[in-house]
């Protein structure tokens, strides 16, 4: 995502630019936007992504670089596959697309493939895509294939540029085409990879919905089950194109992205609340990675670490494969003795017990764990419009004491009692002395 900030005076944009420092903005793409769904509760990731900070560089500087990489073999195969799709006038794409749209397999004119100015700036390309899309949507009979169009999407008050693999326009509607190099084997593909592709495609669908609404001079539908009917509005089913079986031949599958679209909408809506997160940062916080004369970041790593630590993370082991900072956050979670290091599910069994030490003390019956109140953002942000009086219908004059039967220790006691019981069973089974 190349983000440009239309109004330099925008305080949010200025604040994010300060956080980033003078280094170039990290370019996020639809894949990165879709990845926000992986851990939406993580404020650290939300702030760094919104500011366009290069998380990989941060991780490197903090001493725990991200282990992600792509094999040259995988890249080569992906390129070969994508090139093959253009053979025979995109026949590999159009056949399945006709099937998806319920059209006869053959006939009609070959698609128009307009020049989308691939070498121009993102802004120019996006403008060009918009013109082409408007014209193509008006041509109800013809087929137009937009090869790597450029779309705009407003994210958290900033403009992001997104580049889908292809968009096909026919009959006044457009369909997103997502090309992936994982195989469809006997009509089955890796569900995790299809899910990721669907989330990515949903970002494009969202951008196309905004574009079509803009062209129609209206606003895009917001409800999860509503469908726009403007000229050029995107279909909510996308076409996933993959190698078939063990060959390099393409096969296409229709994927309904309505659910992912709803998810993307709410994740992006959350990003607009980024100013609340920024408000909680100490003044002067920056993730500046500007290099010195040797090319290494000039700031001492400790300063950077302190800045990162100022934004709370929601670490879970899934982060190791989804976020560049995963190993750093794991080390932090281990240092803090946090139970999250063992996985998301563990928290559910331990209630308000937050550390390994507390849990083991409870298991041994030696600790009296003190429950830590969980931070909950001000309820105002979630209160729906026209919501009830926050006090609810309770008679304000009543003498009910809201805390009268709430012994603050009791649920921790319940967790501790279960742990102690589990520890006794475990000791008995292992033939260890039972406490």
Partner 1 sequence: MTTAMTVHQPPVLFGVPGPGAGPDGPVPPGAAADAAVAAILAETVHPVPGAPRGVVVDSPPGAGKSTLVVRAARELVAAGERLMIVAQTNSQVDDLVDRLAEKGPDLTIGRLHAADSRPAPEALRHGNVTASAKAGDLLELDVVISTAAKWQWVKDTDPWRHAIVDEAYQMRSDALLAVARLFERALFVGDPGQLDPFTVVGTEQWAGLSYDPSGSAVVTLLAHNPAIRPHRLPVSWRLPATAAPLISSAFYPYTPFRSGTGAGERRLTPGVRADGSAVDAAIDEAAEHGWALLELPARHTVRTDPQAVAAVAATVRRLLDRELSAHSEQGSTPLTAGRIAVGTAHRDQAAAVRAALAGLGVPVDPAAGPAVTVDTANRLQGREYDVTVVLHPLSGRPDATAFHLETGRLCVLASRHRHACIVVARAGIAELLDEHPSTEPVQLGVAVKFPDGWEANHAVLAHLAEHRVRL
Partner 2 sequence: MSLLNTLARLEAVRSGRAEPLATVRHRHLSERPMVVVPVAAAGEEGAPLAVLLGTDRLAPRLFIVPQPLNRTQRFDFLAAFAGELLPYLESFADAVEQIEGSEKDPESGEKIPVVRELCADAPQLIVPNPGAVRHLALLGRSTRFRRTAEDADPGPYPAPPQVPLLGRWLTHLAERAQVPGSSMLLPMTGLLARHWATGQSHLEDQHLAAQLAWHHPPDGLTGAEAAERAETGRDGDGRLLHPPAGPLTDPRFDSQVLAPAITRHDAALAALRQAAPADTDRAALHVKRALERLHEALEAELLPTWRDLWQGLDLLRGLPPAAHLPERWEGDRWSYTGHRDRVAAGEPPQPRRDDAVTAARKLAQREREQARLDIQEALDDPLAMAGHRLAGEAFSGTVTEVVPEYDTSGRSPKPRPLVTLATPDRPHADPGREVHRAGGPPTAQRAEIVAAAPGEVTVRLLSGMGRKKEPEPGTVPEVGERVVFTLFELTARQSAPLPEPDDTPWTHGGPPGAGQSSPVGSEEWE
For partner 1, the binding residues (CB under 8 A) are 37-41, 184, 187-189, 191-192, 194-196, 198-199, 224-225, 240, 253, 255-256, 258-260, 262-263, 266-267, 270, 314, 318, 344-345, 347-352, 371, 373-374, 376-377, 379, 382-384, 387-388, 391-395, 398-400, 402, 405-407, 410-411, 413-415, 418
Q: Which is nearer to partner 2, 9 or 429 (CB)?
A: 429
Indicate which of partner 2, partner 1, none lies near residue 407 (CB less than 5 to 8 Å, by partner kind): partner 1
Longest dimension (CA), the chain: 82
The closest of 139, 190, 141, 148 to 166, measured between CA atoms, is: 148
Which neighbouring-strand residues pair with 188? 185
Does position 296 interact with partner 2 (CB under 8 A)? The reply is no
- Smallest separation, CB 391 to partner 1 (Å): 7
Taking contact as CB under 8 A, which single stretch among the options 114-122, 233-241, 298-306, 336-344 is the one that binds partner 2? 336-344
- Smallest separation, CB 250 to partner 2 (Å): 12
Does position 191 interact with partner 2 (CB under 8 A)? The reply is no
Q: Do 13 and 34 meet the contact criterion of CB atoms below 8 Å apart? A: no
- Smallest separation, CB 191 to partner 1 (Å): 3
Cα–Cα dist 358/368, whole Å? 8
Does position 356 interact with partner 2 (CB under 8 A)? The reply is yes
Exposure letters 48-75 (e unless 16+ CB within 10 A, then b): bbbbbbbbebbbbbbebebeeeeeeeee
Angle made by CA atoms 33, 68, 72, in degrees to the nearest 5? 105
- Smallest separation, CB 63 to partner 2 (Å): 10
Contacts of 330 (CB under 8 A, 6+ apart): 315, 317, 319, 320, 341
Does position 37 interact with partner 2 (CB under 8 A)? The reply is no
Q: Do 322 and 53 meet the contact criterion of CB atoms below 8 Å apart? A: no
Does position 350 interact with partner 2 (CB under 8 A)? The reply is yes
Q: Which is nearer to partner 1, 18 or 413 (CB)?
A: 413
Indicate which of partner 1, partner 2, none lies near residue 151 (CB less than 5 to 8 Å, by partner kind): none
Cα–Cα dist 35/48, whole Å? 13
Contacts of 237 (CB under 8 A, 6+ apart): 100, 175, 254, 255, 256, 257
Does position 317 interact with partner 2 (CB under 8 A)? The reply is yes
The tally of CA atoms less than 13 A away on the side-chain side of residue 322 is 21
Does position 83 interact with partner 2 (CB under 8 A)? The reply is no
Question: For binding to partner 2 (CB under 8 A), which residues are involved?
Answer: 64-65, 67, 69-78, 181-183, 185-187, 245-249, 317-318, 320-321, 327, 331, 334, 337, 339, 341-343, 345-346, 349-350, 356-357, 359-360, 363, 418-419, 421-426, 428-430
């Amino acid at each position: 995502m190349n983000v440009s900030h239309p109004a330099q005076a925008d305080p949010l944009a200025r604040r994010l630019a300060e956080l980033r420092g003078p280094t170039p903005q990290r370019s996020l793409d639809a894949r990165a936007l879709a990845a926000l769904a992986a851990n939406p509760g993580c404020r650290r990731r939300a702030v760094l992504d919104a500011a366009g900070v290069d998380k990989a560089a941060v991780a490197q500087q903090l001493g725990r670089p991200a282990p992600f990489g792509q094999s040259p073999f995988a890249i080569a195969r992906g390129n070969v596959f994508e090139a093959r799709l253009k053979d025979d006038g995109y026949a590999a794409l159009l056949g399945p697309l006709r099937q998806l749209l319920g059209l006869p397999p053959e006939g009609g004119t070959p698609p128009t493939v307009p020049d989308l100015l691939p070498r121009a700036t993102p802004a120019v390309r996006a403008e060009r895509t918009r013109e082409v899309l408007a014209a193509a949507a008006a041509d109800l009979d013809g087929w137009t294939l937009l090869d790597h169009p450029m779309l705009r999407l407003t994210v958290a008050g900033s403009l992001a540029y997104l580049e889908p693999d292809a968009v096909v326009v026919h009959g006044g509607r457009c369909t997103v085409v997502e090309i992936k190099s994982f195989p469809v084997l006997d009509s089955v593909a890796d569900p995790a990879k299809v899910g990721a592709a669907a989330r990515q495609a949903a970002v494009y669908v969202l951008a196309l919905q905004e574009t079509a609404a803009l062209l129609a001079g209206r606003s895009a539908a917001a409800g999860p089950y509503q469908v726009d009917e403007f000229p050029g509005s995107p279909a909510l089913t996308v076409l996933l194109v993959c190698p078939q079986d063990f060959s390099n031949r393409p096969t296409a599958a229709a994927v309904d992205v309505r659910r992912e679209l709803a998810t993307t909408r709410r994740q992006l809506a959350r990003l607009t609340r980024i100013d609340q997160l920024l408000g909680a940062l100490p003044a002067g916080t920056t993730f500046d990675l500007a290099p010195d004369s040797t090319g290494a970041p000039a700031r001492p790593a400790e300063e950077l670490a302190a800045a990162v630590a100022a934004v709370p993370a929601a670490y879970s082991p899934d982060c190791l494969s989804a976020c560049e900072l995963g190993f750093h956050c794991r080390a932090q979670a281990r240092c803090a003795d946090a139970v999250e290091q063992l996985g998301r599910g563990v928290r559910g069994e331990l209630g308000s017990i937050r550390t390994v030490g507390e849990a083991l003390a409870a298991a041994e019956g030696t600790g009296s764990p003190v429950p830590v109140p969980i931070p909950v953002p001000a309820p105002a942000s979630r209160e729906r419009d026209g919501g009830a009086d926050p006090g609810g219908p309770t008679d304000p004059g009543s003498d009910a004491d809201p805390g009268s039967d709430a012994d603050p220790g009791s649920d921790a006691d319940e967790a501790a009692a279960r742990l102690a019981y589990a520890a006794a069973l475990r000791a008995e089974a292992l033939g260890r002395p039972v406490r």
